Each structure stands twice: as structure tokens, then as C-alpha cells.
Structure 1
Amino acid sequence: MDELLVLEGEPGDVAGLMPMPWRILVVDDDADVHEVTAFALGSISILGRPLELLHAHSAGQAGKILDNVAEIAVVLLDVVMESEDAGLQLVKLVRNDRRLDSTRIILRTGQAGQAPEAETIARYDINDYKTKSELTQARLFTSLTTALRSYDQLRRLERSRQGLEIIVNASNQLNAKPGLRAFAEGLLTQITALIGVESEGVICAVPLPLDNDSAPREPRIVAASGRFTPFTEHRLAELNDARIAAALATALHDRRTTIERFSATFFFPKSDEEGFAAFVETTQPIPEVDRDLIDVFCSNIALCAKNVDLVAELRRDAFVDRQLGMPNRTALLVELNRRIQIDPHGKDVLAIIDIDQFATINDILGHHYGDLLLRTTAVHLGEFFGAGKFVARLAGDAFAVVGDRDALNPESIQRCFSDPFEVMGIRQPISACAGLVALDRGSEPGAEYLKDGYLAMKRAKDSGLAQTMVFSNDLASDVRSRARLLHSLRSAYESGQFFLAYQPQIDLIDDRLVGAEALLRWRAADGTMIPPARFIPIAEKSGLIVDMGRWLLREALLARQRLSAAATFELRMAVNVSPVQVRRPDFANMVIEVLRETATPASALEIEITESVAIAGLDAVIGQFEALRRYGVTVALDDFGTGYSSLSYLDRLPIDSLKIDRSFVLALECDQGERITRTIVVLGREMGLRLIAEGVESLALRDKVVEIGCHEAQGYLFGRPMNEREFIDWFTQRQGKFA
């Protein structure tokens, strides 16, 4: 945080001025008394200060003087003037109406019998009572000295009380200031209140040294008033006032506060190294202020400055992404609401942009490279979309851009990422998915648009790489439908609406049953069958697939025992697993645990995976499958040829079987499709894999898959997916004939 300097306007030459006089109000209807009093007190000083006499010849005149003249220390008051109680009425005016509690009152009367009652003297705080005859010069001097000393003590106490109030108020007000400049401007007001004079001011900041430079940088003016106002945000050297600069330099160097009659230099310590100074100068003498009070004031103001630093830092954290130094999600919401308020049906759009495969880039090239890529992306977005745009970082590798729809659209977003980004000398091809939403739905809150933009972006991510989706009512309806389905999915799982169907797998050499594939089915409460293609992706996204997968495995292995008993031989049970399950580090242990719970031989279980497991990261899943194979479980690759970069990782996966997708089996009916399918079979045989053909629905297709070298098959020709009872009946009716 910068150190602060406060400068006050130069009033001109103030040298040689005398100390402020004590003001004495003489109230008497006898002109001779005024003359004698003036003669007696004319040339003397009391407590180091001269006297200034003010004359009133009646209580009425005295009241007017009290209304217009401040700091009257003592009233020499005649008891009887225009009326017998005129003096006492003036006393009531002083104490009750004007609330001049510090002003001392000395009553004078020409006759001893006119003395007020003792109760009256006590009630109105009358300091002394003398007859005029006994007030010789010496006695008058003594009475005044006593009264002035009392007045001075009372004023000091009053100023201390007021000063403490000022300090408390200053703390409350300055703590609420939103930044350095506002704090500096507020400090001028508080200093003026403390010293009790009006003044002009300038506040400067002394920056801390740079990290690579031990010398402090030149001070700058951050707030100013009076004739110095034009110098705000200028360097202090441009002020051209050597006297003020010297006073401030001394205060900062010596770390001390100096109070003089017509000027004051305050120092406010923030730490052992930091502090800020205030120079104040006025045309009026500065009233004496208690030194301890000054110390309390300076310490309190310094603490306020630290609080302002903290508030400023919290504000930066609230609206600025600390890593990239750009607007964050909160700042984006403020900007969205601002634009919507200006034009509720405008042409602006919000784009949520998420870098494709950023986690993979981060893992391969390192977090430092990933951080630099994020910085490069942030800069590029700002430069590419130009003026009028607003760019913010939402989280991770997700950014937001707000701008005119003519410049911000699906085509421009993809053009933005068409050229590789250069990071650390590496030209990195980058793609991104984006969700767009138009800010044209009236005064809807910015948070709603942000939510819709996220929905569109996530739908774009589901569609693949470098995709853009525009939010629409249909999209919103589909999202709501998915949300309802997820809710129903949880209820269905808890209420037992899921069941397993089993499709037989046949050995093509001797036409015998060798196994079955367990398939998950969902019959809703109303009897409607929900397709797996609808509920499996939602179960995966919600994470529910993990619990469902364990339940499915256990149910399938228990059913295998019963089916094997009916068939009088050991059946192999094939169970599909999701990439979400495989990603869990305890996946292999979970499978082995269920095998033990169900007393199932490991060789009787085949785990089926799809090519999408490669997206989870091969290194993460290979160890899982190797552990299962060592235990005796076989692994099959399902739907081969339809997924992700098949040949690039096929020989790395520890698998035993290759299932040829139904689409390639049906393609055997045409010459071009047959060549592709034969190539897959040759590849599988070269790798020593068991080949299983899916979707065999006719004898002609059965003959084809036998001809090209497949070992096993499944499909409607042999049997549809059946529940456990249907499967046993099917086996019994066939009596071993499955072709």
C-alpha cells in the first residue's frame, strides 16, 4: 500500500503574530467601571496570554456579544443593571440558553446586600462574587487568574471530549471509504475537525519501493482541495512549494507530528516502514490540542488506512480474477445487469467459452504451461472481439465474452481459435466449445442469462470438440426434461424399477451356449420402458452409475449361478461397465469384492468396456484391467470401430475379446462393408483375441461371420434379451440347438 501525504494551502506570512488573547466580557451599566477595569487590566498578561476586553452596558448588549463572539473566557458581571435581577437573568442565558459551560462568571456588585443566594451560585456555576470596592487591581488580577486557569482546564477537557468524538467518527467514516483517494479526501475533513480551523489541502501518496529497486519512487498527489485541486494525480514535485515539501519530508523521515501556532504536520504510522503525513496551515491560530489526543488520532487514522487497504484488496478479490488479473464471475454479473438495465432488448449476447481438452494439455505440458495458455487465451479473446466487448474468467478454463451479436456469434468464436496459440515457443492448436445466449429477454437478472449460457455450453461440449450451441426454448425444455428424468432415475433405483435382461452368446464352432450378456432395463411405474440410451448418459453424468453398476454386477453374478444350475454347466456372464466406474481407483477392488461375495469364479466373469474409456486416460485404466486379468477376469472391447481413435490404443489395452459392432456385421451384406469387417477380424486374430459378432439376425449373416473367422456371436437369430425366467425356458426349449 502507498504511503500518504496531506498538504495544506499556504496562507501567506504569519511570522511575528502574538498569542491569542483571553477574551473578557465586562458587563456593567456604569461607564466608570468600564474605564477603571480597562485601566487596571490594559497592559497585563495572564498565563502567558494578553487580555482582550469586550464591553456591554446592559444585559441585552451582553447577550448580543455572546451571540456573535466565540471563546469568551470570563464574564465580569454587575448584578443590578436595567433591573434588579438583570445580572442573574444573563447568568441563566449563559448557562441554560447558550450552554456556555466553560465560560467563567465573576459577579460584581456595588452593595454587599445584593449578593445572590448560595444555592443560586452553585446552580449556575458562578465562580466568584466580589463587591466593586474590594476589587483592587491585585485582587482583580487574582480572581481573573483563578477564573482563566479554570476556564483553560475546562476547555482542554471539552476539546479532549470533542477530539475523542472526532476520532470515533473519523474511524467510522474513513473505514467506509472505498479507496485511497476517497480515504484521502475524507482525512482532510477529519483533520480540520480535530484542530478546529478551516483549511485547504492536498494529499499525496509515497509508493513503496519496487521489488528490484530499493529506492522509493517519487510521491504523487492522489487527492487535493482548494488551489491545489488541479494537481490531483500529479507528481509532488510539480506542486512547486518547497516549504510544504520540506515539512512533509521531515515528518516522514523523523516519523513525528509537529504542532505549531499556524501549522501542523501530522505523521500517521502504518508500520515500521510505512506511514503517511499531513501538513495543515491556516490564517487562524490553531487551538492547543492535547498531545496524547493527537497520538490517539494519528494511530487511529493509521489503523483506518490499513482497513482501507484490506477493503480494497477484498474488493479486488471480489471482482478480479487473481491469477489472470481480469474480471471474474462477480464482475461479469455486474456488467450483465448494467447492460440489461440500459437496454433490456438490445443486441448484446453472452458467450460462455470453454477450452477443449484443457485438462489433458495441463497434464501433458505441465501446470505452468497451462497457466500461460490461459493468459494467452484471455488476451486473445480481448483483442479478437475488439471494442465494446467485456471479457471475464468464470472458472478454470471457462471464459465469458459479452458483446454485440454481429461480432459475437458461432462463426466468429470458431475463427477466434482457428490459428494456433504460441505459448513458450510452442504453437498449440486450440479449440473451444461455446454456449451463446441473447440478452434480449427484458429485465431478467444477469444470473439467469449466465445459467442459460452454461447450459448451452455444456450441450455443445456433449456434441464434441469445437462446437457452439445457441440457447433456445427447446434447449431449455430438453434440459428440464433431463432434470426430471434424473429425479425419476433416482426414485426408480431406490424403488427397484430396474431389472436385468440376458442375451445369449453362442459358440459358432459347435453351436453351444457359452455365456450371456447382462443388459440393464428400466420399467417405469406406469409400465413404460425407458430406453438405455436415454437414462445411461444421465446416470453417468450424475454419478449414480457407480452405485447402479455395483448393483448390476452383483445381480448378474447371482443370476449366473441360477442359470448355470439350470444349464448344468458354468456360463460366462458379460457385464458392461461405464468409463465413470473405471475412472474410480477402487474399481478393480470393487469387482473382486463382488466376485467373492457371490462365490463366483473369476473366469466366469467378462467385463465389457467401450472405446470411450480411452478418454478417461489410458494410463489410469490399464492398471485396473491388468489387475482384473491377473485375478482371472476376462476383458472384452465392445462396439469396436465406432469410438475414439481405435487403432491408436488397441494394442495397449489389456483385453481378451473383441466384439464387432452390429453396424459392421450388417455391413457384411455389401462388398465394401465386408472388406472393413474382414479387416477388423484379421486385426483381432493377429492380436490373439476372441472375436464376438454382435447383431446376427439371420442364418445368412451367421454363415458370413463364421466364414470370416468369428468365434462367437449374439443376436436375435439366437435369442433376444430375456429376463431370468424367460432365459431358462428358452434354453430348455432349444435343448442345445441354437442355430
Structure 2
Amino acid sequence: MPDEDQLFLIDSPQDDAPAGLTPWRVLVVDDDEEVHRATDYAFRRALVLGRPMVLVHTYSGAETRALLAHDRDFALVLLDVVMEDAQAGLDLVAFIRNDCQMQATRIILRTGQPGSAPELPIIEAYDINDYRTKSELTQTRLITAVTAALRSFDQIRMIAESRRGLELIVRSSADLMERHAMLSFAEGVLTQLAALLGLPRDGLVCVHRGEEKRGERPDTFYVISAGGQLADYLSCTLDKLADAAVRAAVTEALRQRQHQFGASSTVLYLSAEGHEAAVYMLAHEPLAPLDRQLVEVFATNLSAYFGNVHLIGELNRLAFLDGLTGLGNRVQFVKDVEAQVEGQSAEAGGQGSPQALLLLDVKRFSELNNGLGHDVGNAYLNAIAQGLRASFSAETRVARLSGDVFGLVGPVAELGPEQSRLLFESGVQAGEHRLPVAFAAGYYALQGHQGPGLAALRRANIALARARLSAQAQLVVFDPTMETQTAGRLALLRALRAAIQAQHLEVWYQPQLALQDGRLVGLEALMRWPDGAGGMVATPDVFVPLAEQAGLIGELGLWVLHRAAEDWLQLQGLRGAPPRISVNVSLPQFRSGELQSQVTEVLARHALPAGTLELEITESIAMDDPALVVSTLTTLRAQGARVALDDFGTGYSSLSQLRTLPIDVLKIDRAFVSQIGDRHGDAFVETVVALGQRIGAEIVAEGVETAAQAEFLRAQACHTAQGWLYAKAMPLAELKAWMATRI
């Protein structure tokens, strides 16, 4: 079944928000009720930057306008692009910015319709924080985008408040906040001072302590603005200034860390947040007392602005760089992809090399991070980042897009599937540990791509999602059919939620029979989704994983447990009733922390005898989080539940791991039963039966379809079988009729 990053993959619930914190107010605008529910679920207990969230919901542009007429106190708007019409979202952006004057409020656009992305000029013109398709928004990615937007909102509001206060002190420097680069800031300082004191521009010099991130020495001061004959010394160090008087006066101000007022010059000392600068002003006479007071106030104002300029510069840097690895972040990567897409279009005539997009998801990073600690996890990511940067030429741009996902865009010759499979064959060194590196990878060739860079990134992301879910494929190349399947999968998710609410899903039962005498010894409860016309909407291997990813499996799993218990009790009045019933459970049910209490509730409410309820897990579940699974099953087994291990031999467990599992039943997968009659198939079944006997487990064979298979299993002393040879899965009423025919 095709898959992709679904809307809001659900992580484990977070703790309740601390009391007394002012919440973030977020406006969710979307005409799709499903999106509102999913957004509520994603932020059900989330803290963003240490503060809880309050979501306000509207369902159309008109309703939103009516709300904003009297309530505009929102830090963020999550806004659907297409509602009443294709322009509804963008029209609402214009209303928010122009009519409501909500300049600080951040806006994230979302859409579920491919091709509805706004053009970049529109995004820039309306100050839109981010644009995402709903299909690419996992819970982690949504929270990441919202966190970045709220951090930006907080910083913008802080800067705005600071600016308003400073404008009251010195009106003449009001334009300095618009000068975000340090060089422009310095130029603005000199211009304002010259105007303020009536001094010539050629008598002013501004110096600034060097910064390593700009390739400068932090123990050296550099000339960053100067006029007249000293303009030739721009970017030079202070000690290279030819004018000894200027050099001495500035040096003394920096040494004493205070203003210097002399007979023929004044030096203002500026300091903020660990940054230092000095402004030299040449004058033919000492400053008058009034001018001196004015300049001191102006200097105080400048110091505050000086810190803000550095803050803005740092924000600009962080806006495009990943703080941990120093690589570009998602914002920078989108810009890089856009540039490559535009370049490919310009070179459509055959000039230049073909470009490709590659997304890499580090496998099992969360396990490593939790097992070895965050310091090792960070060192591991840093080692991967530096390795990626060293593995490619400057033509390939490398970025860290999220916690354990890296993006690369560059020549196909460097990023081709064969080349990417060779990355990190020997692992990486993270502190004292030599650790292996394995990726799930999504690949998309940009040649012939139509549309914006975000569309290219979405297609690579769809391919990556396939690779994540594939047990065999490390790298998946995007195919156009995947995009259509993505939309279909989201539609199926909506239908599944509606079916659960309307109780349209059913539980069917497949009999399990003793091979020696044909007695009905058990039932396996299986979920079904009938379409009402004799068919099925989707098979369990399609809708069960979808329910897991959408956070529905906890509710669905508890319903199946109760229904199975109720139906089993109904059968006990019939002759030949089965002594037990088996229910499948999934890894998200274990990780929710609620499975143990749910099973305990079911056993108590229905007064099920010990050994009646059997919990069936797959081998992959048991090995994915063994400590959690073993602990939970051990407790439930002590309360009277049985444990069955399904699909044995299809996963990757070792015999030592199998030995630690508290199991009562070992099931032979239908794939191996179907090979009975083949020499290797016979040998494998014999081995599994012998293994089950050695560990004291009952053996159940699945998918028995022929008398020859049943006879072989009986000869091997296999206890129980289920399959079409005996009966298919059936609803309760049919099961009762089937049991009646056996009397």
C-alpha cells in the first residue's frame, strides 16, 4: 500500500501545561473539519517555548473577518489557502496585514490541493512565515514550524516595544532600526551624528570588535564606517589607521569602556550584549554642555539600538542556518531548491548539468538518542552533517531540515541513487562511540520539473515517506503516481474517522481448530470495514496502519477488545464454544501507556476467566521496543491474559531476544505454511515447531488451505491451525451458524 507523511503522526502525550503561563493564542482557519480535529489533536498537550497553546477555530474567510473585527490578539494564524474559492486564503492575508494592521502576527499557509501554492512574490509581499502542504505536515513538523513562527513573533514584538521607547528619547535616530546590517547601522550612526551636531561627515569614524563568524579576530577592532580621507581604511584594523590622534582617542575609549570628551574630538563608547564599538567625532572646539548632554542621550540610545542590530543580525543568521550543525536550515534549503528549479528552467535548452533533490532520514536516531543520551545524539548528527558536507562538491547544497532529516540539492552525477547508497559505509565517530549510519532516502530529479521549489520538495518527501515504511528499500525514487495516491490516502483517512464515529467498522472472527480432533479451540478477532454493498472499503493492512499514524488506533483498539469480549460471552451458551479469543495489538497501543489499564478494564468488566483473552503481537512489534513490550506483557500475563507471537520468522529478532518474550503461543506465518511440500519450506516449519516445543509454547499454523498442509502439520505435532481449509473470517451471526453445522 502506498504511503507518505500523513497529517500529524502522533507522538507520545506530553505532560499537562504548568499553571500560570500566558498561553499562545493561535487562530486556525480551514473549511475542513478534519483539519481542525487533527490540529487540536496535534497540540492537545503541547508546550511551545514553555507556554501552552489556545486554539481558536474559524471555518471561512467571512467568519474570520467577523472575528478579527473585535479580536486581533493572535500570535499565529494557521490559514488554509483554498476555502470559499481559490483566492480566499490570500485575500484573508491581505485583510490581516492591511486592514487589521496585524504586522507582528505570524502566518503559516496550508493547503491540501497540489498546485495551489502562492507565488514567492506573494509570500514576500504579505510577510507569510511558511507555506506547507497538509500531506507533508507530521505532528513533529507542524510543531517545528509553529515553534519557529512563535519565536519570531515574540522577538518581533520585543524589538517593536524597544523601538517605541527609544523613539521617544531620540526622534532623530528613528530610521536606525531599518538598518539591519552592521555596516549600514554604522553608516546611519555617522549620518545622524553629523546632522545632530552640524559636523562634517569626513570627521567621523566608527570601529567595531571583530566576530569569528564574519572571519574576523574577536580581540581586534575593525573600521566599519569612515568619511573623507579615512574612508580608505574601511575594513582595516584600528592599528592600521594612519591618523595617530584618531587611533589614540578610540583606543582610550575602548580601554576605559566609557565616552571620551576632548578639546578637539569626542569618542562615544557603545556596548550591548557583549558587543563593543566606538564612534570618533572630530570637532574644532569642545562640545557645548547642551550638545554633550544630547550626545550622551544619543549614545545611550545607540547602545540599545546597537544590541538590537546584533539581535536582528543573529535572527537573520538563525533564520537560514541550523544552530547545531551550522548547515543551512529548511528555510535556506527551500531557497536553494528554488534557485536550482529556476536554473533548470533557464537551462532547458541543454546547458548545464541535470540537478536532483535528495532527502535523507537517519534510521533509528531516536533509539540512539534515548539510549546514549542527547550529547552523543548531537555529536552523531554533527558527524553526519560534516560527513555530508565533505562528501560533495560546493555545487551540492546540504541542509538539516529537521531533527534527523537532511536535504541535498545538486548535480545528478553527485546525488544519483548509486552514489547515495555508498554514504557512511564505515559509520561515524560520535564522542567515544563508533556508530553505524543508515538512511531512508527519497530522490527526485529536477529535470523537467514544473512548478515551484516547494512542490519539488514535497515530491521528494513523498518518496522519503515510502522509503521510511519499506522494510527492503533504502532509497525510493519519486514516481508521479505517488502524488495521486497521497491525495487518495488523505481522503481515506477522513472516511475512516467518519466510519469510526458512525460505528461502521465490524469485528469478524476466524476459527482456530485443534489439528488432532478438530475441536474449536479459539477465535482470532479481525477488524473489517464493509462498504454496505457486500464488499470492503479497504483491507486491514491498509486502514489499520492509517489508524495508527492518525492517532486513532487507541480508540479503535479499545473498542475491538470490548467487542471481542462481548461476542465471546455470547458464544458461551452454544455447544462447542471456543475457550479463548485472540485480539491483535499494535506498537502505538503499547507506547500510549494505556494498553495495560485498558486490558485490565476489559478483563474486569466482562469477568473473563484467566486464559480467555489472548493478545497477539507481531515479531516486529516485539523487537521495535523490546523493553516496553516485555514489561507490559509480563504484567498483563500475570493478570490472566495470554500472549501470542505472530509472523514468527518474518522479522529480524534473534533467538536470544525471543527467549526474553513472555509468550504462550508461537504462530507460523502463512508465508511458510504455503511452502509446505517444498524441502526448504518443510524444514523451516519443522524448526519452528521444534522451537515452540522447547520453549513450552503452543504452536498455531496460519493460512492452512490444503489437506496436505494440515496432514504435514499434524505429523509434526503442531497443535492448532486456522485457514480457509476450515473457515474464513466471518461476522458473529455467520460464526454462530457455522458452529451450528458442526454439532
| TM-score, normalising length: structure 2 | 0.72
2:583 aligned partner: 575
Q: Deviations over 1:161-211 (max 9, x none)?
A: xxx99974543221222222221122111111111132224321135999x
CA contact (8 A) 1:166 1:190 kept: no
**In structure 1, distance between residues paired with 2:394 and 2:602:** 61
CA contact (8 A) 1:268 1:301 kept: no
CA shift, 1:682, in A, is 0.6
Q: Which amino acid aligns with 1:325?
A: G
CA contact (8 A) 2:330 2:400 kept: yes
2:39 aligned partner: none
Q: Deviations over 1:413-433 (max 9, x none)?
A: 112232322333543221211
CA shift, 1:257, in A, is 4.2
Q: Which amino acid aligns with 1:277?
A: A
* Closer/same/farther in 2, CA of residues 448 and 412 from structure 1, 3 Å limit: same
* Closer/same/farther in 2, CA of residues 526 and 703 from structure 1, 3 Å limit: closer
Q: Which amino acid aligns with 1:388?
A: E
Match of 2:602 among 594, 598, 602: 594
**In structure 2, distance between residues paired with 1:710 and 1:277:** 88
Matches within 5 A, 1:497-516: 497-516=504-523
* Closer/same/farther in 2, CA of residues 537 and 617 from structure 1, 3 Å limit: same
Q: Deviations over 1:600-639 (max 9, x none)?
A: 2232111111111134310011011001110111101112
1:375 aligned partner: 382
Residue 309 (structure 1) aligned with residue 317 (structure 2) = no
**In structure 1, distance between residues paired with 2:415 and 2:542:** 33
Q: Which amino acid aligns with 2:503?
A: G
Matches within 5 A, 1:351-366: 351-366=358-373
1:236 aligned partner: 238
1:427 partner SS: strand
CA contact (8 A) 1:255 1:267 kept: no
Q: Which amino acid aligns with 2:196?
A: L
CA contact (8 A) 2:360 2:439 kept: yes
**In structure 2, distance between residues paired with 1:491 and 1:325:** 45
Match of 2:462 among 427, 438, 455: 455
Q: Which amino acid aligns with 1:205?
A: H
1:478 aligned partner: 485
1:693 aligned partner: 701
Matches within 5 A, 1:414-425: 414-425=421-432
1:540 aligned partner: 548
CA shift, 1:658, in A, is 0.6
CA shift, 1:648, in A, is 4.4
Residue 603 (structure 1) aligned with residue 605 (structure 2) = no
2:229 aligned partner: 227
Structure 1 stretch displaced more, 166-175 or 639-648: 166-175
Matches within 5 A, 1:206-221: 206-207=209-210, 217-221=219-223
CA contact (8 A) 1:391 1:401 kept: yes
2:58 aligned partner: none
CA contact (8 A) 1:393 1:399 kept: yes
* Closer/same/farther in 2, CA of residues 256 and 656 from structure 1, 3 Å limit: closer
Identity over the aligned pairs, expressed in percent? 36
**In structure 1, distance between residues paired with 2:469 and 2:273:** 57
CA contact (8 A) 2:193 2:199 kept: no
Root mean square deviation of aligned Cα: 2.7
1:264 aligned partner: 265
Match of 1:661 among 661, 669, 680: 669
* Closer/same/farther in 2, CA of residues 695 and 313 from structure 1, 3 Å limit: same
1:331 partner SS: helix
Residue 724 (structure 1) aligned with residue 727 (structure 2) = no
1:567 partner SS: coil
2:406 aligned partner: 399
1:40 aligned partner: none
* Closer/same/farther in 2, CA of residues 594 and 168 from structure 1, 3 Å limit: same
Q: Deviations over 1:459-513 (max 9, x none)?
A: 1111136611222311111212211211211112222221111111112233211
Q: Which amino acid aligns with 2:622?
A: A
* Closer/same/farther in 2, CA of residues 711 and 487 from structure 1, 3 Å limit: same
CA shift, 1:240, in A, is 2.7
CA shift, 1:597, in A, is 2.0
* Closer/same/farther in 2, CA of residues 378 and 577 from structure 1, 3 Å limit: same
**In structure 1, distance between residues paired with 2:418 and 2:318:** 34
Q: Which amino acid aligns with 1:393?
A: R
In the alignment of these two chains, the number of paired residues is: 567
Larger radius of gyration: 1
1:520 aligned partner: 527
* Closer/same/farther in 2, CA of residues 614 and 514 from structure 1, 3 Å limit: closer
**In structure 2, distance between residues paired with 1:445 and 1:223:** 40
* Closer/same/farther in 2, CA of residues 466 and 573 from structure 1, 3 Å limit: closer
| TM-score, normalising length: structure 1 | 0.72
Structure 1 stretch displaced more, 652-661 or 317-326: 317-326
CA contact (8 A) 2:265 2:284 kept: no
* Closer/same/farther in 2, CA of residues 666 and 556 from structure 1, 3 Å limit: same
**In structure 1, distance between residues paired with 2:421 and 2:323:** 27
CA shift, 1:298, in A, is 1.3
1:203 aligned partner: 206
2:415 aligned partner: 408
CA contact (8 A) 2:619 2:651 kept: yes
**In structure 2, distance between residues paired with 1:516 and 1:297:** 84
2:617 partner SS: strand
1:182 aligned partner: 184
CA shift, 1:690, in A, is 0.6
Matches within 5 A, 1:579-658: 579-658=587-666
2:611 partner SS: helix
CA shift, 1:274, in A, is 6.4
**In structure 1, distance between residues paired with 2:589 and 2:167:** 67
- List runs of 5+ in structure 2 lacking aligned partners: 1-165, 348-353
**In structure 1, distance between residues paired with 2:499 and 2:412:** 44
CA shift, 1:385, in A, is 1.4
CA shift, 1:273, in A, is 7.9
**In structure 1, distance between residues paired with 2:625 and 2:637:** 19
Residue 560 (structure 1) aligned with residue 568 (structure 2) = yes
Q: Deviations over 1:40-70 (max 9, x none)?
A: xxxxxxxxxxxxxxxxxxxxxxxxxxxxxxx
2:523 partner SS: strand
Residue 682 (structure 1) aligned with residue 682 (structure 2) = no
1:715 partner SS: coil
**In structure 1, distance between residues paired with 2:179 and 2:533:** 63
Q: Deviations over 1:205-259 (max 9, x none)?
A: 135999xxxx982322233333333322221111132211111123334455455
1:669 partner SS: coil
**In structure 2, distance between residues paired with 1:458 and 1:391:** 20
CA contact (8 A) 2:253 2:269 kept: no
CA contact (8 A) 2:344 2:355 kept: no
CA contact (8 A) 2:441 2:464 kept: yes
Q: Which amino acid aligns with 2:512?
A: Q
* Closer/same/farther in 2, CA of residues 345 and 273 from structure 1, 3 Å limit: closer
CA shift, 1:564, in A, is 1.5
Q: Deviations over 1:346-370 (max 9, x none)?
A: 5322211111111222233332222
CA shift, 1:403, in A, is 0.7
2:726 partner SS: coil
**In structure 1, distance between residues paired with 2:625 and 2:274:** 53
2:194 aligned partner: 192
CA shift, 1:286, in A, is 7.8
1:454 partner SS: helix
2:581 partner SS: strand
CA shift, 1:341, in A, is 3.8
CA shift, 1:691, in A, is 0.8
Q: Deviations over 1:84-112 (max 9, x none)?
A: xxxxxxxxxxxxxxxxxxxxxxxxxxxxx
1:467 aligned partner: 474
